[in-house]
Structures are given as structure tokens and as C-alpha cells.
């Protein structure tokens, strides 16, 4: 009779128990996270249809909704792929992925890129447009996570600067498009990754001082486009609202306030019907939810985001290694910041920037990138025993 | 030791507790973000939702459109044929009307409005206003025009008593005005409100159309719509709940449409229209020889004047005609039905380019060309140019089999017998028998695959649209064995024989016929008829677009072919036995030789169509004139005199200059359109 040590027996039990077997990662898929994402995508499709279907009940136009459904399906497939590929292997490809993304951000500034609404951010493939800055967010997360995961201790100043550099290059390229909103996402992702990666408090203060100085200089220089300074100025003082930005912000707030407690009903929002809120199916999609589903619908939507973010944070806490924890924190930062900004600007508490509401706004690149990010989170969580 | 401790504490590994702490910090951050968003949502949607609801209800962006003036249309000497004038229009704001009044009050307001507008000098009926207010083309926030050409008295009244007429306002609208009245109506065309189908078609046009906009419907107004239409301007205003503007969002100024300069000569056009009308009136005076024959109804016709060197259209008359100014304020469905009714001979139909008529004997030019060009007439042909052929009054098809030929005997019109005829005399006296013989011969010759005449006709533009820049042009018909076969009908020798004299299924528009003659007159170049010289920027006066000559075809026409035919055509007017000799009696033919050809085309069950085609002065013609008059009898007796009366002022350089209606009004006070045209009638009859 063989004597089995306690340690060996525990290992054996773990393997035999399907709930903790490292060989059955799909047993640990986070269904709550998937459900929250699906719920948000469904709300998004309904809102997109409401604002883009037109006013002719005989002849509703499902073009945008159909396309967004297509993006959601494509994104879901890529999410499964991102979850299936063992994430630890990803560190090996981090440099390659980051390099390709950086190259795309350089090329998009050239003649191959397409300019929409004053920003040269897109590649065009037939009927579809691809926004490389959306995907580069993920590449930055993976690259910074791979770099920071190498060190088990607090960060030294050179390492902090190296990590900041990984974020800064794509960030500056995005700023050149110019797309300030997306560049700000990079800043926040970088901050969160450094925080989880072990930055010291005094280092944070130092970086904050540098950032404030640079931003102040930027606003006062000519680097920002007129419409962007307008947006910022309008945010500071909305009553100067002769400009389009002031109009947009005011219309957005009227739409949301008009929703009241329970909303005007689906397809009944007067602001939505009259098309008074510009870019309502993309960046201002939350105004549709606010007007037609009211406080109840808005709060439910925010609740789904809260659930989603909570599950991501838990995945970070449960992660087997620092690399996994950092990836989850990066995705958390990305979604939290975009959600706060895209909802906040419709409520008038943040300045207007061109940031889509993750999973809800119309737009293929954003939806697909977000779903891939969630796939990575699922990946980290379900391989926590491996 | 202390140093070592300091160093290890500096590189201390992060504890799991530290990671958990830092993640908790993230959670706190998220919590704050959510708290901020929910608090703001609560404020907007629960605490101040009433205020925002009120704002949403009154929240409108009002777009004020400013229509751009439409381009004008000029004749070749720069006379304005179509201009714009301002019309004062009364509008009713539909939103105010629908929301602030109950049904009784609405009726009462409409009645008061009709009363006051009429009292101010513009008669307006209650139902006209009510109908306009119900027009589905206007949206619930639009100001609906209910009466136009209102006098200024009403505007003054409205200014003084505005509170009695809530939502009622006036706007100035630019409308079309026609200084020459109905002259050239078919060429100019008219504008009227967009139909629903047209709105769909122009929905994406850069010169944004709105549902209550006007669009060119026919003529130059339609074919040059994209040029004539101006680009409307607009001001987008954000307005508050009482309708006062809060802010100007953006503003775009209107851009006037471009002017179109035609090749038309308005004096010649007036002459052409007058003589066409007079010719038709004369035709109706004729008595039929035989009471069983159909009467000369002369319901319509066309008269075309071209410059053969480039086929510029100098005049193009079509009768019956209409008044484009009728469309300015819109008209009743009854009037529209009247204009469409076939019993009224479709006044909107431009016969000059859409009417398809058998050309009759005027077509003999092209048969003669086919015979000369192919050598059927020539030293080695069946006849030489001077060879005399005995016209016995009828042509009997040799070795005739009725089935294959349709008929074995073909007679001259009026059973005339001309005796010995050569090509010259055959044209001059219009011997059908001579041409029957040519038709039969060409039909039998294998090398023509029975299409010798058809090929000649197509060279001169028959059977295909000429490409003039006007809508609705007809293509005409050139019958052929292949077409007959496709239709399942046999092609018989008889078809070729009647084709030789321009009868049978052959059909051409008056414009095509004139253009074919123009090609012959200028020595063989078939041009696409030119209606527009240039498009001009109304502000700078610079030509935006200039139209050159467009050559459709170069016909092989050496003197050996052209001269014999031309001599025959000159004989028609100059020689004693020429068919148009009496019509041109007293015409200064020595100084201004006219070549011409009469045509009397048979139409089953109706009186003959009367045709005449002519060009001059020879040998270097500058004018081609073609007249076609429906159910009017002989070409020699009706169409030829009308053409002569057009050519004579041209030859003697005495085309009367027409004054515009506006000029006449200045000379003798206001004059009704009708009086002007009546003057023209009496003048021509005298």
C-alpha cells in the first residue's frame, strides 16, 4: 500500500474535482460577465435601432442595427478565441502585437488613412472602417502587463518611465490624428497598470505634475483643433453655447432629462425622433437610453456596467499570476474610463470627447476590441488553477 | 547594515496584500465614478425632469430656407425670354393653426382671411385656403402658403392688425415671368411643384429640393434644370419655447442659378408661330372636292427653322400651344385634364420634336440620294441622270405576284400623268411613278439586301433621336425587312415602293426632316440640332459652359450627286411646272434662290398632312424651313405658302421685331395676353 502524502492527495483531489481541475478551464468560464456583456450589447442594439431607423413606420431602416449585430457576432467569435488561447503565451507575442499596432497608427496618419469628422483615425476596407487606435489599447495593456509582470517588487523610476513610454508612443500618435478622447483612455490605462504594477505614491505625484504641465501647455498652444478647444471651453462654461459643442451638450441633457423616471417609451423620445442630438447612434447613444427608458433604464444600464466591472476586478484578484492580474486591470481601466466619459458627457459632468460607450455605441472597432478584451479577462479567470 | 536594510526595503517584493489593496483602490475609484453618474442622473431625470420635459417640448431647431433665384433664359440676341419676378405670398403657420384653435375658430379664421385678402385686391375663395392648409406636402411645423400674388394692401393690413391673424405672415417668393407671353412655350417649358415621384428622384441632389419646391417639367426648364436651379441658402436657428431665436447655428447664403442662352431668334420664332397659325387657319377654310372625303380639320402642326451650318434651331413652333404663365400659381385639376385631353389635341405636346409624321414626297430627296449614291441612277444604272422615263400615271410592277408585292399597280397622286421625266423633272413636278420605279429597282437589286433607301434615310438622321437638348424627343421610324421580320410580318416589294415616296410606315419628326434637309443643304454634314449656345454665370457674366457643333454623321455628297437633286429642288419653286411655283410667285428668287419640296402625306381616315421643306439662299444656304400641318391638304397649297411667308421677310431682311408684353404694357397700359395673340391672328389673315 503506497503511502500518499497529504500534498499529493490534495493535488489528486483537485484534479479529480471538475470545479478545480486545471485541465478543464472552460468549467470556470465567468457566465455572469458574459451575461452582463450580452445585456449591454442588446441594450445597445435596441438604442441604435431607435435612433437610426428613421421616422417612416412603413419603412424602418435596420441598416445600422444589422451591421452592429454583425460586429457583435464577429466580436463574440474573437472573444472565444481570446479566451481559448492560453494567456501566459501571450507575453511572448506582446512585442510583436504592440509593434504591428504602432505601425498601423503611423500608417493611418498618411494617405492610406481616412479622415472622418476632422480626425484621421480610420482605414477603409470597402464598406467597413477599421480604427487601429481601438485595438492598440489592448496591445498596450498586454505589452505593459508583460513588462511589469517581470518584476516582483516596487517599481524603480527608470522602469516607470519605460512603462510610461510604452503607453506614450501610441498615445502621442493618436493625439496627432487628432483624437484627444482616445488618447486620454491610454493615459488612464497606463495609470491603472502602473498602480497595480507597483508604483510608489511619490512617483504618482511626480507623474501627475508632469501631466498637468504638459496638458496646460497643449491647451494654450495650437496643437488642439478649434472644435476640441471649443468643446473644452464649452464644458467649462456651457452658457457661451453658440457653438455646436454647446448645442450638442444641451440637447443631450434635454434628452436625458426629458426621459424622467420611467422614460418616454421605446421609439417615443421626441429628442431622438427629431434627431436633435448629433452623433446619437455613436458617442451619444446613452441619450437614447436616457430619454426612452428613463432613470430606470439608465440605472439598469449602469448596473450592468457595475456588474461587468466587478467581475473583471474579481478576475484580477483571482488571477494566478501578476501578468493575468495586470491584463484584467487594464481592461477594467479601459471600460471604466470609457463608460464614465461617454455617459458623463451626455450628463454634462465631463467634457465632450469622441469616445464610444463600450458594447453599446454603434461602431465595429470599438465593439470588437472591447469583446476581445473581455475574452482575455475570461481567459485569465478560467486558467487560475493551471 | 542599515544600508542593506534600506536597499532590500526599496526592492521589497509586492505582497498579495498590497495587490489586493491596490485593486480595492480601483474599486473605490469605480464606486466614485458610478456615484457621480447616478447622482447626476437622479438630478436630471428625477429632480428636474419637468423642466427638461418642457424644454424638450418647445425645443426646436428652426431652419429658415431662402430659395435662390432661378437662372434666366435668353434668346440668341440677349432678349430675356424667361425672367423672375417677386410675388407676395400669404402663409399660415400650421403649428399655430393646429394647436391654438379648435375647429370652429379655424373655420372662422379662414373665412376672415379669405375676406381680407379679397378685399385687399386679390380674389380668394375660402376653399382655396382650406385646401392649401390640408396640403400633405407641408410638415406640421411649416408655414403653408395659402394665397399668392397678394397686393401690398394686405401686407399693410396684416402689419396693423397682426393680433387678429395669429400665425399669418407674408413671404416674397420668386416666380417665373414670361416677357414674350406664350411665345416659344414648348421650347422654354414650364416649372411647377415637384410631384412625389420627382421628389424621390432629386432627394440626393446637392441643390437640396424641398417638397414644396418647383422643378422644370418640360422644355429647357426641364433639360437644363440642374443648371437653372439655384442652390438654396438656409439659416439654422435654435429657438426657445416661445419661438424666439436663441442662437444662430449656421448660415449658408443662396447661390443664383445660371442663365441659359438659346440659339433661338425670338423675332423669327414669333414669325414662325404666326405663320403656322395662319397656315392652319387657311387650311380650315378649304372646301373638300368630295363630301365623302374627310374634312380639313387642321388641328395642329409644326414649323421648324434651322441654320444648316451647325443645325442651330432659330425657331421651332408647335400648334396648339399653351401658356407657361398658367403654371405659375398652379391651377385646378380640371384645367390640367383639359390640357391633357386628346380632344383638345394635347397643347403640351411639342409636335416639332415629338410628333411622328410620314414625310411624304419631301422624302424623295433621300430616295434620289440612295439611287444616285448606289449607281441605280447613273451611267451604268437603270437610268442616267438625264434619261427620260415615261410617267404614264401609274407604275405596274413587272412579273407581279400579288402576295409578294401587296399590290401590282401604284398610281400618281390625283391620277396625274407627267409623261417623260428625268430626275430633275421628277423632283420638280413630284412624279411618284418615277420614284416607284426607283423603289422597285432598289428592292430587287440583291446588293441592297432590300435596304438601299433605309440606309440613305439613316445617314440623314431618320429613325434615331437627333439629340437636341430638349426632353421628349421622338425617334421616328424607318421600316425595314429586318424590323418587319422581327415583328413577324413579311416585307413586300410594295413596302419598298411606297417607302420611296415617303409613305407606309416611315415616320419622322418635323425636326428630323429639317435636320436631314440641313445636312443636304450644307454639303453633307449631319449635326445634332443645337438649342443652347451657352450657360452663363448671372453674376460675373462669364460663360460657364459653351456648346460647340456636334457632328452626328458625314454624308458622302459630291457635286455629282448633290447638283442633280438640288436642280430639281430649285425647280420646285422656280419653274412653271414646279409644285410650289404658285406659292412662291413674286418671291425674289433671283437674289435668294429657294430649293424646296412639297409633300402631301396620306393618313388613313383623315385629310392629308401638308408638308413643305425648303432651304435658301442657294448655293450657300443659311436657313432651312420645314412646315408640317395635320389634316390640311396639299403641301403645295397650305404648307408651301406658309413657308414662303416665313422665308420672304428673311430674304428681304424685314423680319418684324417683336416687342415684349412688358414693352407693350408700357406703351399702352396693361394689356391682356389674349389681345396680343388676337392681334397676331388678324395680322396674318389680312
> Would you tell me which residues 146-175 of chain A have a C-beta closer than 8 angstroms to some C-beta of chain B?
152-154
pLDDT category of residue A221 using cuts at 50, 70 and 90: low
pLDDT greater than 70 at residue B14: no
**Does the distance separating the beta carbons of B46 and A329 come in below 8 Å?**
no
- Collect all residues with Cβ–Cβ distance below 8 Å to B447 and sequence separation of at least 6: B374
> Would you tell me which residues 13-52 of chain B have a C-beta closer than 8 angstroms to some C-beta of chain A?
13-14, 18-20, 22-23, 25-27, 29-30, 33-34, 36-38, 40-42, 44-46, 48-49, 51-52
What local confidence, expressed as pLDDT, does residue B212 receive?
75
pLDDT tens figures, B515-560: 999 999 999 999 999 999 999 999 898 999 999 999 999 999 999 9
- Is the Cβ–Cβ distance between B227 and B258 less than 8 Å? yes
What local confidence, expressed as pLDDT, does residue B601 receive?
92
Mutate which: B8, B32, B37, B42, vs A, most A CBs within 10 A: B37
How many angstroms separate the Cα of A80 from the Cα of each of A68, A83, A87, A341, B322?
18, 5, 13, 28, 73
pLDDT category of residue B358 using cuts at 50, 70 and 90: very high
Identify the weakest region by mean pLDDT among A245-259, B25-39, B409-423: A245-259
pLDDT tens figures, A303-315: 999 999 999 999 9
- Is the Cβ–Cβ distance between B399 and B650 less than 8 Å? no
pLDDT greater than 90 at residue A299: yes
What local confidence, expressed as pLDDT, does residue A292 receive?
93
What local confidence, expressed as pLDDT, does residue A120 receive?
84
pLDDT category of residue B677 using cuts at 50, 70 and 90: very low
**Does the distance separating the beta carbons of B55 and A317 come in below 8 Å?**
no
Question: Does residue B331 sit at the A interface (CB-CB below 8 Å)?
Answer: no
What local confidence, expressed as pLDDT, does residue B678 receive?
42
- Is the Cβ–Cβ distance between B260 and B220 less than 8 Å? yes
What's the DSSP call for residue B415? G
pLDDT greater than 70 at residue B626: yes
Interatomic CA distance for residues B462 and A297, integer angstroms: 72
How close is the nearest chain B Cα to the Cα of A3, in Å?
Answer: 34
Question: Does residue B238 sit at the A interface (CB-CB below 8 Å)?
Answer: yes
How close is the nearest chain A Cα to the Cα of B248, in Å?
Answer: 7
Closest CA to B58 of A276, A286, A246: A276
- Cis check: omega of the bond before A178, within 30 degrees of 0: yes
pLDDT greater than 50 at residue B676: no
Question: Does residue B337 sit at the A interface (CB-CB below 8 Å)?
Answer: no
pLDDT greater than 60 at residue B576: yes
- Is the Cβ–Cβ distance between B259 and B72 less than 8 Å? yes
Interatomic CA distance for residues A349 and B564, integer angstroms: 94
Mean pLDDT, residues B338-354: 87
For the residues of A103-133, what is the DSSP string, one character each?
A: HHHHHTTSTTEEEETTEEEEEEETTEEE-HH
What local confidence, expressed as pLDDT, does residue B162 receive?
78
pLDDT tens figures, A246-274: 778 888 888 899 888 988 888 888 778 77
Average pLDDT of the residues of chain A: 86
Whole-model pTM: value is 0.61
What local confidence, expressed as pLDDT, does residue B225 receive?
94
pLDDT category of residue B668 using cuts at 50, 70 and 90: low
- Is the Cβ–Cβ distance between A87 and A384 less than 8 Å? no
Mean pLDDT, residues A281-296: 92
Q: Which residue has better confidence, B597 or A118?
A: B597
The phi, psi pair for B400, rounded to 5°, reads: -80, 135
Mean pLDDT, residues B247-255: 83
**Does the distance separating the beta carbons of B26 and A313 come in below 8 Å?**
yes
Which sign, positive or negative, has the C-alpha torsion B349, B354, B355, B361?
Answer: positive
How many angstroms separate the Cα of B519 from the Cα of each of B294, B509, B557, B624?
36, 15, 10, 10
Q: Which residue has better confidence, B564 or B288?
A: B564
> Would you tell me which residues 55-74 of chain B have a C-beta closer than 8 angstroms to some C-beta of chain A?
55-57, 59-61
pLDDT greater than 70 at residue B342: yes
Identify the weakest region by mean pLDDT among A365-369, B206-210, B283-287, B470-474: B206-210
- Strands B543-546, B551-554: pairing is unpaired
Interatomic CA distance for residues B207 and B227, integer angstroms: 10
Q: Which residue has better confidence, B118 or A242?
A: B118
CA A359-A365-A368 angle, 5° bins: 55
Average pLDDT of the residues of chain B: 86
pLDDT category of residue B114 using cuts at 50, 70 and 90: confident
What local confidence, expressed as pLDDT, does residue A18 receive?
63
Question: Per the structure block, which three cell numbers stand in for A68?
Answer: 452592429
What local confidence, expressed as pLDDT, does residue B557 receive?
95
Q: Which residue has better confidence, B95 or B453?
A: B453
Which sign, positive or negative, has the C-alpha torsion A139, A141, A144, A149?
Answer: negative
What local confidence, expressed as pLDDT, does residue B682 receive?
40
Mutate which: A156, A191, A202, A254, vs B, most B CBs within 10 A: A254
Question: Does residue B203 sit at the A interface (CB-CB below 8 Å)?
Answer: no
What's the DSSP call for residue A259? H
**Does the distance separating the beta carbons of B238 and A256 come in below 8 Å?**
no
Size of interface A-B (CB pairs under 8 A): 126
pLDDT tens figures, B135-183: 776 766 677 888 888 888 888 888 888 788 888 888 888 889 999 989 9
Using CB atoms, pick whichever of B30, B37, B57 lies closest to residue A343: B37
What local confidence, expressed as pLDDT, does residue B7 receive?
38
pLDDT greater than 90 at residue B306: yes
Interatomic CA distance for residues B50 and B489, integer angstroms: 81
What local confidence, expressed as pLDDT, does residue A240 receive?
39
Using CB atoms, pick whichever of A261, A325, A347 lies closest to residue B19: A325
pLDDT greater than 50 at residue B2: no
Question: Does residue A306 sit at the B interface (CB-CB below 8 Å)?
Answer: yes
Interatomic CA distance for residues A256 and B41, integer angstroms: 8
pLDDT greater than 80 at residue B100: no
Q: Which spans in B42-165 are helix H?
A: 49-58, 94-100, 103-119, 126-133, 152-160
**Does the distance separating the beta carbons of A261 and B44 come in below 8 Å?**
no
Helices and strands counted in chain B (H then E): 26, 23
Task: Give, to the nearest 10 degrees, the angle between helix A285-318 and helix A364-382.
Answer: 20
pLDDT category of residue B204 using cuts at 50, 70 and 90: confident
What local confidence, expressed as pLDDT, does residue B367 receive?
96
Q: Give this complex's ipTM.
A: 0.88
What's the DSSP call for residue B639? I
> Would you tell me which residues 222-251 of chain A have a C-beta closer than 8 angstroms to some C-beta of chain B?
241-242, 244, 247, 251
- Is the Cβ–Cβ distance between A333 and A191 less than 8 Å? yes
What local confidence, expressed as pLDDT, does residue B485 receive?
86
In sequence order, what are the beta bridge partners of B193? Answer: B214
How close is the nearest chain B Cα to the Cα of A261, in Å?
Answer: 6
What local confidence, expressed as pLDDT, does residue B157 receive?
84
pLDDT category of residue B12 using cuts at 50, 70 and 90: low
Interatomic CA distance for residues A60 and A53, integer angstroms: 5
- Candidate ranges B212-216, B609-613, B652-656; pick with highest mean pLDDT: B609-613
In sequence order, what are the beta bridge partners of B546? Answer: B534
pLDDT greater than 70 at residue B240: no
Interatomic CA distance for residues B249 and A245, integer angstroms: 11
What local confidence, expressed as pLDDT, does residue B317 receive?
95
Amino acid at each position: 500500500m503506497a503511502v500518499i502524502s497529504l500534498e499529493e492527495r490534495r493535488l489528486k483531489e483537485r484534479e479529480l474535482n471538475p470545479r478545480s481541475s486545471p485541465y478543464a478551464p472552460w468549467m470556470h468560464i465567468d457566465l455572469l460577465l458574459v451575461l452582463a456583456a450580452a445585456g449591454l450589447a442588446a441594450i445597445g442594439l435596441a438604442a441604435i435601432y431607435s435612433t437610426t431607423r428613421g421616422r417612416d413606420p412603413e419603412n424602418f431602416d435596420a441598416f445600422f442595427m444589422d451591421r452592429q449585430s454583425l460586429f457583435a457576432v464577429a466580436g463574440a467569435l474573437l472573444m472565444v478565441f481570446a479566451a481559448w488561447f492560453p494567456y501566459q503565451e501571450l507575453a511572448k507575442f506582446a512585442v510583436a502585437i504592440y509593434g504591428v499596432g504602432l505601425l498601423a497608427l503611423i500608417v493611418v496618419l498618411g494617405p492610406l488613412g481616412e479622415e472622418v469628422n476632422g480626425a484621421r483615425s480610420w482605414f477603409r476596407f470597402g464598406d467597413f472602417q477599421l480604427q487601429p487606435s481601438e485595438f492598440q489599447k489592448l496591445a498596450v495593456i498586454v505589452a505593459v502587463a508583460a513588462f511589469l509582470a517581470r518584476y516582483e517588487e516596487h517599481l524603480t523610476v527608470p522602469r516607470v518611465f519605460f512603462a510610461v513610454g510604452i503607453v506614450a508612443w501610441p498615445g502621442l500618435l493618436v493625439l496627432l490624428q487628432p483624437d484627444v478622447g482616445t488618447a486620454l483612455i491610454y493615459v488612464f490605462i497606463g495609470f491603472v497598470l502602473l498602480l497595480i504594477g507597483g508604483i510608489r505614491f511619490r512617483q504618482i505625484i511626480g507623474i501627475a505634475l508632469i501631466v498637468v504641465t504638459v496638458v496646460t501647455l497643449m491647451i494654450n498652444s495650437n496643437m488642439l483643433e478649434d472644435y476640441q478647444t471649443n468643446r473644452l471651453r464649452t464644458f467649462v462654461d456651457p452658457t457661451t453655447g453658440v457653438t455646436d459643442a454647446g448645442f450638442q451638450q444641451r440637447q443631450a441633457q434635454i434628452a436625458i432629462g426629458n426621459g424622467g423616471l420611467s422614460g418616454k417609451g421605446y421609439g417615443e423620445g421626441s429628442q431622438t425622433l427629431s434627431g436633435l442630438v448629433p452623433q446619437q447612434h455613436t458617442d451619444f447613444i446613452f441619450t437614447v437610453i436616457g430619454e426612452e427608458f428613463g432613470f430606470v433604464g439608465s440605472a439598469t444600464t449602469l448596473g450592468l456596467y457595475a456588474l461587468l466591472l466587478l467581475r473583471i476586478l474579481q478576475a484580477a484578484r483571482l488571477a494566478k499570476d501578476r501578468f493575468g492580474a495586470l491584463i484584467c486591470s487594464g481592461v477594467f481601466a479601459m471600460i471604466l474610463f470609457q463608460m464614465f466619459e461617454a455617459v458623463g458627457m451626455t450628463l454634462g459632468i465631463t467634457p465632450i470627447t469622441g469616445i464610444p460607450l463600450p458594447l453599446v455605441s454603434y461602431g465595429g472597432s470599438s465593439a470588437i476590441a472591447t469583446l476581445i478584451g473581455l475574452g482575455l479577462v475570461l481567459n485569465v479567470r478560467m486558467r487560475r488553477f493551471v | 547594515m542599515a544600508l542593506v536594510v534600506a536597499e532590500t526595503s526599496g526592492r521589497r517584493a509586492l505582497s498579495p496584500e498590497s495587490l489586493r489593496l491596490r485593486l480595492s483602490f480601483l474599486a473605490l475609484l469605480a464606486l466614485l465614478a458610478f456615484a457621480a453618474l447616478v447622482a447626476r442622473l437622479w438630478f436630471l431625470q428625477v429632480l428636474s425632469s419637468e423642466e427638461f420635459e418642457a424644454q424638450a417640448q418647445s425645443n426646436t431647431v428652426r431652419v429658415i430656407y431662402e430659395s435662390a433665384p432661378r437662372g434666366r433664359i435668353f434668346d440668341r440676341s440677349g432678349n430675356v425670354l424667361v425672367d423672375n419676378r417677386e410675388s407676395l405670398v400669404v402663409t399660415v403657420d400650421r403649428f399655430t393653426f393646429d394647436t391654438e384653435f379648435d375647429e370652429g375658430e379655424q373655420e372662422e379664421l379662414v373665412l376672415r382671411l379669405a375676406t381680407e385678402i379679397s378685399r385687399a385686391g386679390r380674389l380668394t375663395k375660402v376653399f382655396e385656403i382650406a385646401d392649401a392648409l390640408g396640403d400633405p406636402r407641408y410638415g406640421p411645423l411649416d408655414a403653408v402658403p395659402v394665397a399668392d400674388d397678394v397686393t401690398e394692401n394686405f401686407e399693410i393690413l396684416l402689419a396693423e392688425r397682426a393680433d387678429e391673424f395669429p400665425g399669418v405672415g407674408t413671404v416674397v417668393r420668386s416666380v417665373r415671368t414670361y416677357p414674350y407671353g406664350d411665345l416659344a412655350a414648348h421650347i422654354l417649358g414650364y416649372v411647377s411643384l415637384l410631384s412625389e415621384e420627382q421628389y424621390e428622384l432629386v432627394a440626393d441632389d446637392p441643390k437640396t429640393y424641398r417638397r414644396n419646391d418647383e422643378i422644370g417639367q418640360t422644355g429647357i426648364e426641364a433639360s437644363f434644370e440642374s443648371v437653372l436651379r439655384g442652390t438654396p441658402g438656409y439659416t439654422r436657428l435654435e429657438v426657445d419655447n416661445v419661438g424666439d431665436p436663441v442662437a444662430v447655428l449656421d448660415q449658408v447664403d443662396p447661390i443664383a442659378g445660371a442663365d441659359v442662352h438659346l440659339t433661338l431668334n425670338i423675332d423669327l420664332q414669333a414669325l414662325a408661330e404666326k405663320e403656322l397659325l395662319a397656315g392652319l387657319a387657311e387650311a380650315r377654310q378649304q372646301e373638300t372636292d368630295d363630301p365623302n372625303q374627310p374634312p380639313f380639320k387642321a388641328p395642329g402642326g409644326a414649323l421648324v427653322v434651322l441654320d444648316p451650318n451647325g443645325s442651330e434651331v432659330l425657331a421651332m413652333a408647335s400648334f396648339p400651344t399653351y401658356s407657361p404663365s398658367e403654371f405659375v400659381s398652379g391651377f385646378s385639376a380640371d384645367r390640367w385634364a383639359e390640357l391633357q385631353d386628346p380632344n383638345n389635341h394635347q397643347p403640351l405636346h411639342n409636335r416639332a420634336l415629338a410628333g411622328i409624321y410620314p414625310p411624304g414626297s419631301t422624302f424623295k430627296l433621300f430616295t434620289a440620294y440612295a439611287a444616285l449614291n448606289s449607281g441605280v441612277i447613273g451611267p451604268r444604272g437603270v437610268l442616267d441622270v438625264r434619261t427620260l422615263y415615261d410617267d404614264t400615271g401609274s407604275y405596274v410592277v413587272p412579273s407581279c405576284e400579288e402576295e409578294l408585292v401587296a399590290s401590282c399597280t401604284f398610281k400618281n397622286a390625283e391620277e396625274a400623268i407627267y409623261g417623260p421625266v428625268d430626275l430633275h423633272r421628277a423632283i420638280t413636278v413630284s412624279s411618284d411613278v418615277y420614284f416607284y420605279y426607283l423603289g422597285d429597282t432598289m428592292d430587287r437589286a440583291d446588293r441592297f439586301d432590300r435596304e438601299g433607301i433605309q440606309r440613305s434615310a439613316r445617314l440623314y438622321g431618320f429613325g434615331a433621336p437627333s439629340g437636341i437638348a430638349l426632353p421628349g424627343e421622338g425617334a421616328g421610324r424607318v421600316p425595314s425587312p429586318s424590323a418587319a421580320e422581327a415583328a413577324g410580318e413579311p416585307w413586300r416589294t410594295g413596302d419598298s415602293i411606297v417607302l420611296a415616296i415617303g409613305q407606309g410606315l416611315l415616320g419622322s419628326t418635323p425636326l428630323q426632316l429639317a435636320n436631314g434637309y440641313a445636312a443636304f443643304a450644307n454639303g453633307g454634314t449631319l449635326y445634332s440640332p443645337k438649342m443652347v449656345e451657352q450657360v452663363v454665370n448671372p453674376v460675373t457674366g462669364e460663360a460657364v459652359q459653351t456648346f460647340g457643333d456636334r457632328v452626328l454623321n458625314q454624308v458622302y455628297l459630291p457635286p455629282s450627286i448633290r447638283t442633280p437633286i438640288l436642280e430639281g429642288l430649285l425647280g420646285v419653286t422656280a419653274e412653271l411646272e414646279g409644285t410650289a411655283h404658285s406659292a412662291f410667285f413674286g418671291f425674289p428668287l433671283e437674289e435668294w434662290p429657294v430649293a424646296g419640296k412639297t409633300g402631301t402625306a396620306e393618313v388613313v381616315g383623315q385629310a392629308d398632312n401638308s408638308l413643305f421643306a425648303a432651304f435658301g439662299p442657294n448655293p450657300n444656304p443659311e436657313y432651312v424651313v420645314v412646315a408640317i400641318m395635320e389634316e390640311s391638304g396639299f403641301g403645295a397649297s397650305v404648307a408651301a405658302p406658309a413657308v414662303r411667308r416665313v422665308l420672304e421677310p428673311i430674304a428681304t431682311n424685314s423680319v418684324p421685331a417683336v416687342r415684349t408684353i412688358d414693352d407693350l404694357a408700357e406703351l399702352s397700359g396693361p394689356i391682356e395676353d389674349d389681345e396680343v395673340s388676337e392681334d397676331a391672328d388678324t395680322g396674318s389673315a389680312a
